Chain A
Amino acid sequence: MSGRKNESRKNDDLVLGKHRFVSRLLMGTGKFRDRAAMFKAISASGTQIVTVALRRFGEDGDSDDLLSPLLRIKGLTIMPNTSGAANAEEAIRAARLGRELSGSPFVKVEIHPNPHHLLPDPIETYKAAKELAADGFVVMPYIPADPVLAKRLEEAGCASVMPLGSAIGSGRGLATADMLKIMLRECAIPVIVDAGLRSPSEAAAAMEMGCAAVLVNSAIAASDDPPVMADAFASCVKAGRQAWRAGLMIRSDNASATSPLTSFLA
């Protein structure tokens, strides 16, 4: 069963570790054609958590200081990712660098050694997540849609698990829906769909299923109008969450009349 009935009707915050958020739409900051579009999209999305990546200083003059403008956005939590890490050791190092720079305890652990499919390495991800959780990080691992791994990560102290809907940047939606449903049944920590979403209706579907939040990047950044798309995702995330809280009606193989079937016309 869903956790719906155990939740307070009034307070519907997203709880990650000791931190609370109102917005259930997390946003990535990659792939935007320019900074202005990115900042407008962040604002339009209402997001309170954005991911950022580490890169060598000076390789792209324009992006050398993404941090200052992000820190000026009130109430925004920065979640550095460990992109580029091929194993647990590199991810742990990236996480510590990210924390040193951002001052944020949040880390998106992502370890995907194969550039062709970018699927997460479950073994290295588990190792890194466990060590980082013990070190006080709010650990948000990007994982394959594996309910057993998700449970192990919960036991290791992760604040959430972030299974993929489909491959990063593929826009193939909730291809893992069946596995996500099992994960949602088994996990006590928030399940956040990360990667693969293309349309706002897919975000709504994830939320209706009982996911705690979604993380969206490419679908917003690669659209023709990122701020409008960010707003569309925000609306659908909210609608899907409301629908889940309200409780979807039971499915039936048979029809069930909505109007009285009296025979006064006969």
Chain B
Amino acid sequence: MEPQGEHVDDTSKLEFLRGTLDVLILKALVWGPLHGYAITNLIRRQSDDALILEEGTLYPALWRLENKGLLESEWGLSENNRKAKFYNVTPAGRRRLRNEMKTWEAYAAAVAKVLGATQPPLREELG
């Protein structure tokens, strides 16, 4: 998950990094199949409106994940009887989610350590 560069827009809602998008999508679908619009809503609500997905990047991410075999798709009917494409996580996708979460947590912990430091690190012992 390499940061591609970030900028804060004037509404000060965080924009998304690409790799993060994949793992968020996978997590969003853990509780059952959803269509694309519902995925954006879920993520927005779960982050308490902090994370708003750029819609132009959502669908390509979904298709790429499907191509890699981490998601599978099926056409169905939405709540308002419209034809919509529903996505579901595959076993491979679940495995990938677990791995990504571990990596993400380790990364976040490391960043937090550095940012939360109250004093510079001790001099290294020379030996």
A and B associate: no
Residues of B within 8 A of A (CB): none
Residues of A within 8 A of B (CB): none
